[in-house]
Amino acid sequence: MYRYDEFDHAFVSSRVEQFRDQVERRLNGELAEDAFKPLRLMNGVYLQLHAYMLRVAIPYGTLSSRQMRMLAHIARKYDRGYGHFTTRQNIQYNWPRLSDTPDILHELASVEMHALQTSGNCIRNVTADHFAGAAADEVADPRPYAEILRQWSSVHPEFSFLPRKFKIAVAGAERDRAAIQVHDIGLHLKKDENGRIGFAVYVGGGQGRTPMIAKKIRDFLPEEDLLSYTTAIMRVYNLHGRRDNKYKARIKILVHETGAEELSRQVEVEFAALKDTELKLPEGDIQAISTYFAPPALENRAEGWESLARWKKTDEDFARWVQQNVQPHKHPDYGMVTISLKPIGGIPGDATDAQMEAVADIAEEYAFDEIRVSHEQNLILPHVALADLEPIYRGLVAAGLATANAGLITDIIACPGLDYCALANARSIPVAQEISTRFGSAERQAEIGELKIKISGCINACGHHHVGHIGLLGVEKKGAELYQITLGGSGDENTSIGEIIGRGFEPEKVTDAVETIVDTYLGLRRDREETFLEAYRRVGPQPFKDALYGSAQEAA
């Protein structure tokens, strides 16, 4: 993984001192809250319902054990003993004191981490496929490009006061596990007919109150043009994105109102002028950054096949966990392990300091010191020998981290909702907990198969409900919480935005409604192989509407 050099250290420590000065000026009243706000936001500090919140960047979700231990230390020393992993591969602390934040950032800098640009109207943490460097279907590792973008976008003077926030995601495999089509810029690595590496470029995707699927504006952008082309997009957006209305300020609205063709033309004009400038990436630099992400030396461990089969036979729970949470690695003797942060009835994405340390220990001992955070709010060990799965599982069981539900109905994405968030209209966490508990039985989950439930507590859609197979959106109606259900969303290479199925449900009825939807699916699927999403795409919303609202009744 990437390691800071002297330049990076100098940058991050200067930045911490700069922020320390800003916090001091805020605390002594020299800096007003409205002028302080964009500065603190660019350093990851939010003001939430009950307290400040600090969002720490985990660039493209990649962590070492040392870094994970630091996250645990911060949870223990400055917070209430836990942290919340987010859909943008970051971690949030919900209870830090403002006056402590410079010290927290200082401690983070000691393990090559920061909270830079995890908020504010700037280029945010660049995200990538959590199986990068390990997946069998990978064209190229997306992380070197994400790292180059991370560096280039750090305190970019031209693009620090954009109309609105800006999110870039990079996928490197055929399967899109980074949801690139719902990002402001989505980059999909590919090779051209001559074997050169480049990107298909998507622009203007996003969720929020106006969900839109990104438009492809470039079939193939050679890798050396990454920064010049991105600069061209950013400049067109900075100059022409709407600033009159916060809710229409994302680039998706500019793309929509300008038209993808015209916007693409403007970007190409700007790009033509930038293409052969100092922004062009030398091959040597791409190589040098890529070297940091070289996969670990994976010895053949063929003995794992036999022992795995034996362990599975003697322990049904272990077998279920392997079945659900371990996926094939590009090396046949290895697997990619998903550590679920979705215990049955628990809070999606939360981990305690002790759990973080347990994962750090396991990764150090068995998994080449590499941990990932997935946008589905789980942790990943990307390189694990099959021969080591059993001891890893034992360690995870001891830490309460062995829930065998990756990709299943209880692997729910949820935003913090009204329990923490100043923007929320409704709670998300209790709804997730109740659904998780209702469907908690392992047999029942296995019977249902792959099903992604995503819950947002307000229209800003941090819980990605638009791309949930079943999406729940909390709204406020006449002072009470109500949950609107969408069906058929998906955030992969076949991205779709879920359709609203009808009038919303009260908190005490929403789990029943989800159960009705699931039972309807089980009743109409062709066979066990047909997933919920496939079935929905085949039959459409009607059978679900009928089941929820009665066939005679017109759903409002």
Partner 1 sequence: MTKIWKETGFVGDDPWIIETEETKAGSNEKAILGLDAFLAKVGEGDETGLGVVIAPADDVTKLAPHLDRLALVAVAFPAFNDGRAFSHASLLRARLGFGGEVRAVGDVLIDQIPLMLRCGVDSFAVSNATALKRLSEGRLPGIAVHYQPTAKAATDAKSYSWRRVS
How far is residue 313's CA from residue 319's CA, in Å, rounded to a whole number? 7
Stretch that binds partner 1, among 285-293, 310-318, 411-419, 433-441 (CB under 8 A): 285-293
* Least distance to partner 1, CB of residue 209, Å: 21
What angle in degrees, to the nearest 10, is found between the helix axes of 389-398 and 316-325? 100
Q: CA geometry: angle at 56 spanning 414 and 199, to 5°?
A: 80
* Least distance to partner 1, CB of residue 59, Å: 13
Tell whether residue 529 is a contact of partner 1 (CB under 8 A).
no
Task: Please identify, using beta-carbon distances, which residue of 273 and 398 lies nearer to partner 1.
Answer: 273
- Give, in order, the Cα–Cα distances in Å from 509 to each of 12, 144, 169, 482, 512: 49, 46, 36, 10, 5
- The two most distant CA atoms of the chain are separated, in Å, by 70
* Least distance to partner 1, CB of residue 459, Å: 22
Residues 213-232, mask of contacts with partner 1 (x by CB under 8 A): --------------x-----
Out of 24, 27, 30, 398, the residue judged to bind partner 1 by CB under 8 A: 30
Out of 21, 174, 316, 447, the residue judged to bind partner 1 by CB under 8 A: 21
Closest CA to 484 of 431, 533, 530, 440: 431
Task: Please identify, using beta-carbon distances, which residue of 40 and 69 lies nearer to partner 1.
Answer: 40
Task: Please identify, using beta-carbon distances, which residue of 157 and 479 lies nearer to partner 1.
Answer: 157
User: What is the DSSP annotation of 407-432?
Assistant: TSTT--EE--GGGT-SS-SS-SHHHH
CB 90 within 8 A of CB 124: no
Closest CA to 468 of 456, 460, 480, 476: 456
Tell whether residue 15 is a contact of partner 1 (CB under 8 A).
yes
User: Which residues in 152-211 contact partner 1 (CB under 8 A)?
Assistant: 152-162
Tell whether residue 279 is a contact of partner 1 (CB under 8 A).
yes
Instruction: Please report, to the nearest 10 degrees, the dihedral formed by the alpha carbons of residues 249, 426, 492, 435 taken in order.
Output: 180
Tell whether residue 14 is a contact of partner 1 (CB under 8 A).
yes
Q: How many CB atoms lie within 10 A of CB 447?
A: 12
Tell whether residue 281 is a contact of partner 1 (CB under 8 A).
yes
CB 309 within 8 A of CB 389: no
Tell whether residue 288 is a contact of partner 1 (CB under 8 A).
yes
How far is residue 351's CA from residue 331's CA, in Å, rounded to a whole number? 30
Out of 4, 39, 311, 492, the residue judged to bind partner 1 by CB under 8 A: 39
Tell whether residue 282 is a contact of partner 1 (CB under 8 A).
yes
* Least distance to partner 1, CB of residue 3, Å: 14
Out of 24, 27, 35, 97, the residue judged to bind partner 1 by CB under 8 A: 35
Task: Please identify, using beta-carbon distances, which residue of 287 and 441 lies nearer to partner 1.
Answer: 287
* Least distance to partner 1, CB of residue 192, Å: 23
Size of the site for partner 1 (CB under 8 A): 44
Out of 89, 92, 118, 121, the residue judged to bind partner 1 by CB under 8 A: 121
User: Which residues in 259-278 contact partner 1 (CB under 8 A)?
Assistant: 273, 277-278
Q: Which residues of 304-332 are buried (b: 16+ CB within 10 A; e: fewer)?
A: beeebeebbeeeeebbbbbebbbbebbbe
Tell whether residue 280 is a contact of partner 1 (CB under 8 A).
yes
Tell whether residue 18 is a contact of partner 1 (CB under 8 A).
yes
Question: At 92, phi and psi to the nearest 5?
Answer: -115, 140
Task: Please identify, using beta-carbon distances, which residue of 48 and 151 lies nearer to partner 1.
Answer: 151
Out of 48, 151, 307, 460, the residue judged to bind partner 1 by CB under 8 A: 151
Task: Please identify, using beta-carbon distances, which residue of 2 and 321 lies nearer to partner 1.
Answer: 2
Tell whether residue 22 is a contact of partner 1 (CB under 8 A).
yes
Closest CA to 224 of 169, 168, 268, 277: 277
Tell whether residue 289 is a contact of partner 1 (CB under 8 A).
yes
Q: Which residues of 180-217 are buried (b: 16+ CB within 10 A; e: fewer)?
A: bbbbbbbbbbbeeeeeebbbbbbbbbbbbeebbbbbeb
User: What is the DSSP annotation of 492-555?
Assistant: STT-BPPEE-SS-B-HHHHHHHHHHHHHHHHHH-SSTTS-HHHHHHHH-SHHHHHHHH-SSSPP
Stretch that binds partner 1, among 11-19, 58-66, 179-187, 483-491 (CB under 8 A): 11-19
List of E strands, 192-307: 197-203, 215-222
Stretch that binds partner 1, among 25-33, 105-113, 365-373, 545-553 (CB under 8 A): 25-33
Residues that bind partner 1 (CB under 8 A): 5, 7, 10-11, 14-15, 18, 21-22, 25, 30-31, 35, 38-39, 121, 148, 151-162, 227, 235, 238-239, 243, 273, 277-282, 285, 288-289
